[in-house]
Structure 1
Amino acid sequence: MRQQPRGDSRGILHPGRLLRQVRFRRHLPAPALRPWVEHYWFVDWDLTEPLEQQVVPHPAVNVVFQRDGDGPERAEVAGVGLKLFSITLSDTGRVSGVQFRPGGFHPFWGGSVAELTGRRWPFPDLADRWPRARDHTGGACDGTDTERRRVLDGLLTGWAPEPDPVTDEVIRLVGEIRSDRTVLRVDAFARRHGLTTRRLQRLFLDRVGVGPKWVIRRYRLQEAIEQAAGGPPPDWARLAADLGYSDQAHLIREFTAVTGTSPAAYARSLG
């Protein structure tokens, strides 16, 4: 089990600019929650002018608590985002987020996670269909990081997730896709694990909220974004081949469709 949260900026566009203007950090949850929760993520800001931030979403559900200035804390469940996520931060505020492992929200939700995909649901709107939304009374954005972690640990532990071997299997499968860049085709990946393609697709839709093809493509695209931000411009043709795109033009089209800018233009914007 990991002892530190991951330290990459994968999925965050213009990460250097973000880190210069806000306080962003990640923390691990209590050990009992780590089978399902990737990390907590905290953002605090005190800005003299608005900051627009964009993120290429991971195939993961987030539960997000936010307070702007002295206003009330609000909470929402954010399903897997299919499009580029954009938010404008201004003045002062705090966010305390929970990023679940892909598939890891299912034991807390109790139904198909696909119904959350592409949606952001405020807790009050979920209270009738998901009674756990009534459990949170505030405090996730208050105090020190340790105090904020304690509130989130208590809340999630109180939701009493039930261990589920099918969910555990899906979490392992997604983890393999994320770490093994040779995973490029759904049918070959299904055969590797003794599953039919149809069974793999049903498992992913129910537990993760999106299909395995989408997960593969999203992780590979995030690798391309990270490489564009990591130093000298990469050899795009070679990178496209390594990541399973049919050719360089395919990578450029998908990169541009998701981020709104071409790989070369994005790399130049970081200079």
Structure 2
Amino acid sequence: MSGHEGPRRDTRGIVDAPELFAHVQFRRREPAPELRPYLEHYWLIDWDLSQPYASHLVPHPSVNLVFERYAGCGDEDAGYAEVAGIGLELFTQKLEGRGRVCGVQFRPGGFRPFAPGAPVSRWTGRRLPAADVFAPPAPPAPPAPLTPPAAVLDPADEDERVAAMDAYLLALGPEPDPRADLAMALVDLVRTDRTILRVDGLARAEGVSARSLQRLFAAYVGVGPKWVILRYRIHEALERAGADPDVDWAGLAADLGYSDQAHLVRDFTATLGVPPTALGAR
């Protein structure tokens, strides 16, 4: 597994991050040491709004476990825990009134050890009650009690919320899995190496067939390697465009390994539902 460097500080995937941070309190926190090989970070959001606000996110190739409490969300008093598989499209969440969300972002490839009974692709594009995903151990082993959502959401102290998420995940007893390690390492490579633009190039670099790579990603990441390559390039384009409204799209396309600007614009529009010019105008 790659070394752990603490929670990410970038805003990749968040559409108009400054606007989001003006409406909500957003923090990232580090999990317990035993969990860090599998997790990117915890993310915590609280809001108290006088007017509704819609947040937009281009999802990472990560599964999330989400503890949430806000109007219209399941049992609003007790809170709700759900597993959110990788989102394939732009995710929009309307926020209003008061609410709190405590989330776990797994590393791409890091979720399967917590739910080894099914390929991660089973959860892709779906949001399910956590109890439906995390099956208890088979008899005769007694199931470990899972932390109820309220234990995560109730504490005013942020450290207590983090500790409750640690307890929830540690009770699931993730087992080391070399295939998960490999999947996490490959996704890290895609994320950090701009020269990886095609699946066959990644397969050759690892000395495996493209078909073997597809099977590994379906089982442990939840989407194919081509999708991961594209999504990370769109994340970078989104971040660069957010930092510079007058970004040179032809130059950015070349930086990201696209053959021309039109190809980048096409992928960007297909992912966000709007062309880059609309984002710049907003």
TM-score range, shorter chain: over 0.9
Q: Could you tell me which amino acid in structure 1 is paired with residue 97 of structure 2?
A: D
Structure 1, 32-41 or 235-244: larger mean CA deviation: 235-244
Question: 1:122: Cα distance to partner?
Answer: 1.8
Which stretch shifts more, 69-78 or 15-24?
A: 69-78
Please state if 1:73 is matched with 2:79: yes
1:130 aligns with 135
1:121 equivalent in structure 2: 128
* Match of residue 178 from structure 1: 191
Q: Call closer, same or farther: CA 1:58–1:133 in 2, change over 3 Å.
A: farther
Match of 1:47, SS state, is: strand
Q: In structure 2, the residue corresponding to 1:188 is in which secondary structure?
A: helix
Q: Tell me how far apart the structure 1 counterparts of residues 178 and 145 of structure 2 sit (CA, whole Å).
A: 28
Contact 1:41 1:96 in 2 (8 A): yes
In structure 1, distance between residues paired with 2:66 and 2:180:
22
The residue type paired with residue 223 of structure 1 is E
SS at match of 1:90: strand
C-alpha displacement at 1:232, in angstroms?
4.7
Tell me the CA shift for residue 251 of structure 1.
Answer: 1.1
User: Given the alignment of the two structures, is residue 26 of structure 1 paired with residue 38 of structure 2, yes or no?
Assistant: no
2:213 aligned partner: 200
Amino acid at match of 2:28: R
**Residue type at the aligned position of 1:60:** S
Per-residue CA distance 1:198-219 (angstroms, 9 max, x = gap): 1111100110000000000000
2:103 aligns to what?
97
Task: Return the alpha-carbon distance in structure 2 between the equivalents of residues 2 and 163 of structure 1.
Answer: 16
For 2:244 and 2:169, locate their aligned partners in 1 and report how far apart those are by CA, in whole Å: 39
Question: Structure 1: any 5+ residue segments left out of the alignment?
Answer: none
> Partner amino acid for 1:27?
R
CA distance in 1, matches of 2:187, 2:250: 26
1:133-192 Cα offsets, whole Å, 9 max, x none, are 972322111221100000000110110000011110110110010011111011011101
Q: Equivalent residues in 2 for 1:222-261 (5 A)? A: 222-261=235-274
Confirm or deny: 8 A CA contact 1:45 1:91 kept in the other structure: yes
Q: 1:193 to 1:19 in 2, by over 3 A?
A: same
CA shift for structure 1 position 250: 1.5
Q: 2:165 aligns with which of 121, 139, 152?
A: 152
Is the counterpart of residue 109 in structure 1 residue 120 in structure 2? Answer: no
Q: Does 1:61 align with 2:66?
A: no
Runs (5+) with no aligned partner, structure 2: 137-142
Shift of 1:123: 2.9
Task: Say whether the 8 Å CA contact 1:123–1:134 is kept in structure 2.
Answer: no
Cα distance in 1, alignment partners of residues 167 and 146 from structure 2: 10
TM-score by length of 1: 0.94
Paired residue secondary structure (1:121): strand
- More displaced, 186-195 or 94-103? 186-195
Cα pair 2:144 2:172 within 8 Å, conserved: no
- The alignment partner of 2:183 has SS state of helix
For the aligned residue pairs, the C-alpha RMSD in angstroms reads: 1.7
Q: How many residue pairs get matched? A: 267
Which amino acid in structure 2 is aligned with residue 106 of structure 1?
R
Aligned residue among 163, 169, 180 for 2:182? 169
The C-alpha deviation readout for 1:55-77, integer Å capped at 9, x for no partner, is 00000000000012663210100
Describe the shift of the 1:85–1:232 C-alpha distance in structure 2 as closer, same or farther (beyond 3 A): closer
The structural deviation recorded for 1:249 is 1.1
Output one character per residue of 1:72-112: Cα deviation in whole Å (capped at 9) or x when no partner: 21010000111111110110010000000001000001120
Contact 2:53-2:94 within 8 A present in 1 as well: yes
Separation in structure 2 between the aligned mates of residue 183 and residue 105 of structure 1, nearest angstrom: 24
